[in-house]
Homo-oligomer: A and B are copies of this chain.
Amino acid sequence: MSEHTGLSKGERSRLHIIETANRLFYERGYQQTSFSDIVEASGMHRGNITYYFRTKNEILQAVIAHRLESIRALLASWDGDIPEPRERIKRFVQMILISGEEIVEYGCPMGSLNTELGKSEAELQQESRQMFDLFRDWLTRQFQDLGLRKPRATRLALHLLGRGQGISVMAHAYHDPAYLKNEVLLLKRWVDDVKA
């Protein structure tokens, strides 16, 4: 066991593979990333990676599980740091601005992966959709805390998620940070205007 990370050697290797693949899948796409790309980028050897993951498919599943955990941790930190539900929702919108550079270059990590997998990888698309589910459910709770009933809260949550996806797609298509910034502003105003 490493005293610094609390992870065993094997756990560290496994995590290193996941993080490497996560970055490549985001920047190049899943299909466009070969097993050899992961080998090279990780600095590990082929057989060592297959020791942890037999197939590329398994790596993707681990990457999705890893992303889900990251999102859970993020939402929990927002719950801890921000008392007001409206401010929490705006924190979600702010995330789009904070990630702006990456979004402009590669699109939304959730949206672009889901869109890619939606084309003839139906099972994996459903797994990746769980990332949206986490945000949808969390946003729904925040809207409920604003005094809205659950059906409307869910509708607004999905609307907000969709707005974020639209911003990401267009900002990426035009590689335009100014568009992203302006649309985030509009979206924050929309959040301010939501009334019970």
Contact surface of A with B, Cβ cutoff 8 Å: 27-29, 31-32, 106-107, 111-112, 114-116, 118-120, 125, 129, 132, 155, 158-159, 161-167, 169-170, 172-174, 179, 182-183, 186
Q: Which of B107, B132, B183 contacts A118 (CB under 8 A)?
A: B107
Contact of A166 among B107, B164, B172 (CB under 8 A): B164
Distance, CA A164 to CA B162, complexed state (A): 9
Q: What are 29 residue pairs bridging A and B, where the CB atoms are less than 8 Å apart in the complex? A: A27-B120, A28-B120, A29-B120, A31-B32, A32-B120, A107-B118, A111-B115, A111-B173, A112-B119, A114-B172, A114-B173, A115-B115, A115-B169, A115-B173, A118-B172, A118-B173, A132-B170, A132-B174, A158-B170, A158-B179, A161-B166, A162-B163, A162-B167, A163-B166, A165-B166, A165-B169, A166-B166, A166-B167, A166-B169
Interface SS of A by simple majority? helix
**A135, chain B: closest CB distance, angstroms:** 11
Given A159-B183, A179-B158, A182-B155, A29-B116 contact (CB < 8 Å): yes
In the complex, residue of chain B having the shortest beta-carbon distance to the beta carbon of A119: B29
Among the interface residues A114, A159, A162, which one has the most CB atoms of the partner chain B within 10 A? A162
Contact of A31 among B29, B161, B179 (CB under 8 A): B29
In the assembled complex, which residues on chain B have CB atoms less than 8 Å from the CB atom of A174? Answer: 129, 132, 158
In the complex, chain B residues whose CB is within 8 Å of the CB of A118: 106-107, 112, 172-173
Cβ-closest chain B residue relative to A174: B129
The 4 closest A-B pairs by CB, nearest first: A166-B166, A162-B166, A29-B119, A165-B169
Q: When chains A and B are docked, how far (Å) is the Cα of A118 from the Cα of B173?
A: 7
B170 engages A169 (CB within 8 Å): no
Residues of the B chain whose Cβ atoms lie less than 8 Å from the Cβ of A164: 166
Chain B residues positioned under 8 Å from A183 (CB to CB): 159, 162
> Which residues of chain B have C-beta atoms less than 8 A from A27's C-beta?
119-120
